[in-house]
A and B are shown apart, each in its own frame.
Chain A
Amino acid sequence: MPTRMTLLGLFNTTGPGHPIDYLGPVTGAMDSLRILGLREQDMALMMGVPYTSKMLGRPKIHERIPWVTLIGALIGLGTAWALTFATQFHYPIRVGGRPFWGNPTAWIPIFELTMLGLMLGTLFNFLWKCAFPSTQPQVYNPDINHGRIALEAKFDMRYEDDVQRAMLENGAEQVYEPEKKPL
């Protein structure tokens, strides 16, 4: 018997005088849920407009060093290093009376490939942090494109009525038990 369940509340962000920024209902609902004992990680938001955590009254997502970005840049640097210096060992060819290595020309491939590694690393860092691409069925409601914000709450089954009431009282348009579906 699962003791935990999920409810999804849909809140309209279009209110009188507020074309897109009517966040009162959803922040109010979250406050009520916090009083009921839900922790921050029990609540998730889905939205079509990038409201910041501050606007939503949520704690800031903890910032870490983007490790994958750094690793990508280092791989790029290593590749460039190998190309500019090691290949000259492999087959030394003299051009224009210049030294085989150690001249400023090496900086250009080093810069380019480091930046390439950094950009790819940033992409992979983003994909990794967001667990993309995800093909699993997920909780979702396409109404977030219609000026709605979706609040997904996970809690113990015993509180179902309380949570539902908390959401509705704060102005949720609809509260239902979501089904995981392919997007």
Chain B
Amino acid sequence: MLADAQTKFKNLVWPHEENPRERLLLDPIPQEEMNQIMLKPMLSASPAYWLVVAILAAIVAVCIFGVWAYQIRWGMGIDGTRRPVGWGIFISTFVFWIGISHSGTFVSAILRVFNAEFRRPITRAAELMVTISLACGGLFPVVHLGRMWVVYFMVPMPNQRQLWPNLQSALVWDLLAITTYLISSTIYVYLPMIPDLAMARDHTTGWRHALYKITSLGWRGAEYEFHYLHKALNIMALAIIPIMFSVHTIVAWDFAMTQQIGWSTSILGPYFVIGAIFSGVSAVITLLLVVRRTMHLEYFLRPEHFDALAKLVLIFAISWVYFFFNDFFVEWYGGEAAGHALLSFQMHGGLAPYWWAMLVLNIVIPLGTLWSKKVRSSPIALFLITIGINIGMYLERVIIVPGFLQRNRMPFNWGEYTPRLPELSIAFGTLAFFILLYMLASKIIPLIPVWEVLEGQLSHSRRRIGQTVVTSVADLE
């Protein structure tokens, strides 16, 4: 029965409007069948899976922790950072991962607040990205420290030195904001997971049963439990949105609060937030396409979801262009001599290849393609476009962090920065780390919130109005 269902949904025609029944929320199947579609890829793992896990684990061990140990032993000099480029690839990659972490919150919290129904099956997978990418990004502020062994000096706690951290420093805000975001997003991914963990508890034995028994906290699906769960989620969805905005704004303030040319601009906060959501939502598409394929979740992840997400990407591509142009144009028109030196360095100096590639990947390709329904319906096209967007956004961070630092107000102090192997290795290693953590988590955590999908199916129906049949949504509250 399960195999039948799986083959049926695998062969879905992508442009779906011919048969509205093929939209997920109008196509209910028995609850237990849904549970099984979710549980089957969780409970079994192919040898190929373990092979990939082993390779990724080896990459993480060598490329991150091995190289990091080497760097701790010899000093930061093994990287390319220099005077005046104090921050290099590490901080770019940090900003990149913090940006990716905006995916889940945006998809889940904002769409939950606005009752966007298409969010239902994709929230969990996106929220999980938040926690994992924060773990990857959170490595970098530690990795890039000259003396990482005293990183606790930054933590506000009573100590024998009788010294508190400087709460006027943007780096301390960063620490507070990222800690808040990590804890909040972990709670926010965990709470709606409880009913699914209870479902998994009832279907498993052995160590998994023990694990799910503890983590589902004794959930019985009682009426009042669902009521308080909804209530907590409503508060959290609203509260986590300003947290999300504050996190990337503060990351932007790490740069904007300085007097460095190119950095010291008030647009940088919103520019970074939009860029983060842009790259985050793109990463959600990339990841869901992979998850859908490898975990056979064709029932839950329908063309309609990718279509809706691709429209979001289109909107954020437009917003990003707007902020980019604001940033660029003001500097270009007015600006001081140092700012103009920086602009010419970007447009036809050493940064030019990255700068133009960023414009193509972030503006030309998404705006040129995503308006088309045909493109939005093609998994392979979406996969390539979203990967391209994330490469473009990574280039943006490379341009802004070590790129801008190469120019300043005293031409004698200009310097060229070339990343060196150790920092590239650690940056690449976190990509493997992200995939590894996600692969491991996907075997333990139900990636689809089955109960939310069921809830959505409850509220959808089709009714005839005149000569046509339309979809209507009931208000559940």
Contact A119 B239 (CB under 8 A): yes
B223 contacts A45, CB within 8 Å? yes
Q: Decide yes or no whether B149 CB sits under 8 A from chain A.
A: no
Across the interface, name the chain B residue whose C-beta is closest to A148: B31
- Which residues from A are CB-within-8-Å of B226? 47, 50
Q: Is B213 an interface residue (CB 8 A)?
A: yes
The residues of B that contact A138 with a CB separation of less than 8 Å are: 218, 220
- Given the known inter-chain contacts A83-B156, A115-B243, A183-B213, please indicate yes or no for A126 contacting B228, CB distance below 8 A: yes
Interface size class of A (residues with CB under 8 A): 35 or more
B268 close to A (CB within 8 Å): no
How many B residues touch the partner, as a band? 35 or more
Q: Are A20 and B232 in contact (CB under 8 A)?
A: no
Q: Which of A20, A98, A115 contacts B28 (CB 8 A)?
A: A20
B148-175 with Cβ < 8 A to chain A: 156, 162-164, 166-168, 172-173
In the assembly, what is the distance between CA of A63 and CA of B228, in Å? 10
Partner of B458, one of A51, A111, A119, A133: A51
**Is residue B373 within 8 Å, beta carbon to beta carbon, of the partner chain?**
no
Asked if A112 and B177 sit within 8 Å, CB to CB, the answer is: yes
Q: Identify 20 residue pairs between A and B in the complex whose beta-carbon atoms are under 8 Å apart, listed by A's number.
A: A19-B457, A20-B457, A46-B221, A49-B31, A50-B226, A53-B223, A53-B227, A55-B458, A61-B224, A91-B163, A105-B167, A108-B173, A112-B243, A116-B179, A116-B180, A119-B188, A119-B236, A122-B239, A126-B232, A132-B219
In the complex, chain B residues 382-424 whose Cβ is within 8 Å of any chain A Cβ: none
Please report the C-alpha to C-alpha distance between residue A112 and residue B232 in the assembled complex, in whole angstroms: 19
- With most chain A CB atoms within 10 A of its CB, the pick from B195, B239, B476 is B239
From A14, A115, A120, A132, give the contact of B218 (CB < 8 A): A132
Task: With both chains docked as a complex, state the minimum distance between the C-beta of B94 and any C-beta of chain A, in angstroms.
Answer: 18
Q: A49-B455, A120-B183 are in contact. List 18 more A-B contacts (CB 8 A).
A: A14-B30, A19-B28, A20-B30, A21-B458, A47-B221, A95-B168, A96-B168, A105-B168, A116-B180, A116-B183, A119-B183, A119-B240, A122-B239, A126-B228, A126-B229, A130-B228, A133-B218, A183-B198
Contact between chains at B202 and A145 (CB < 8 Å): yes
Q: Considering the chains assembled together, what is the distance between the CA atoms of A46 and B156 in angstroms?
A: 45
In the bound complex, residues from chain A placing their C-beta under 8 Å from that of B235 are 66, 69, 118, 122
Report A-chain residues with C-beta under 8 Å of the C-beta of B31: 14, 20, 48-49, 145-147
Chain B residue contacts of A109, Cβ below 8 A: 167, 172-173, 176
Could you list which residues of chain B lie within 8 angstroms of chain A, going by C-beta atoms? 28-32, 35, 156, 162-164, 166-168, 172-173, 176-177, 179-180, 183-184, 187-188, 191, 195, 198-199, 201-203, 213-214, 216-232, 235-236, 239-240, 242-243, 246, 250, 451, 454-455, 457-458, 476-477
A143 to nearest B CB, angstroms?
9
Interface residues of A in 97-155 (CB under 8 A from B): 98, 103, 105-106, 108-109, 111-113, 115-116, 118-120, 122-123, 125-127, 129-130, 132-136, 138-140, 142, 144-147
- Any B CB within 8 A of the CB of A56: yes
Could you tell me which A residues sit within 8 Å of B by CB distance? 14, 19-21, 44-53, 55-56, 58, 61, 63, 66, 69, 83-84, 87, 90-91, 93, 95-96, 98, 103, 105-106, 108-109, 111-113, 115-116, 118-120, 122-123, 125-127, 129-130, 132-136, 138-140, 142, 144-147, 183
Given A19-B29, A111-B246, A113-B180, A83 and B222 touching (CB < 8 A)? no
Contacts of B166 in A (CB 8 A): 93, 95
Closest residue of chain A to B457, judged by CB?
A20
Contact (Cβ within 8 A) A123 B191? yes
Provide the bound-state CA to CA distance between A105 and B165, in Å: 13
Bound-state Cα–Cα, A20 to B457, Å = 8
Among B167, B199, B218, B236, contact of A83 (Cβ-Cβ < 8 Å): B167
Return the contact of B184 from the options A69, A83, A119, A140 (Cβ within 8 A).
A119
Contact for B242 among A49, A51, A115, A132, CB less than 8 A: A115
A50 with B454: CB separation less than 8 A: yes
A142 to chain B: closest residue by CB? B202
Instruction: Report the separation of the CA atoms of residues A129 and B203 in the bound assembly, to the nearest whole angstrom.
Output: 27
Q: Contact: B458 with A122, CB < 8 Å? A: no
CA distance A50 to B32 in the complex (A): 15
Most buried by B among A14, A109, A130: A130
Contact call B203/A145, Cβ cutoff below 8 A: yes
Q: How far is the CB of B133 from chain A (nearest CB, A)?
A: 19
Residues in A whose Cβ lies below 8 Å from that of B214: 133
Contacting residues, chain B, for A139 (C-beta < 8 A)? 220
Max chain A C-beta neighbours (<10 A), residue from B199, B217, B246, B250 = B217
A90–B161 alpha-carbon span in the complex (Å): 12
CB pair A130–B225 under 8 Å, yes or no, is: yes
> Are B227 and A61 closer than 8 Å at their CB atoms?
yes
Inter-chain contact A135/B230, CB cutoff 8 Å: no
Within the complex, what minimum Cβ distance (angstroms) separates A114 from chain B? 9
Query: What residues on A are CB-neighbors of B236 within 8 Å?
Result: 119, 122
Given A44-B222, A95-B166, residue A134 in contact with residue B232 (CB < 8 A) = no
Bound-complex Cα distance A135 to B35 (A): 25
- Asked, given contacts A50-B226, A66-B235, A147-B30, whether A112 binds B176 with beta carbons under 8 Å apart, the answer is yes
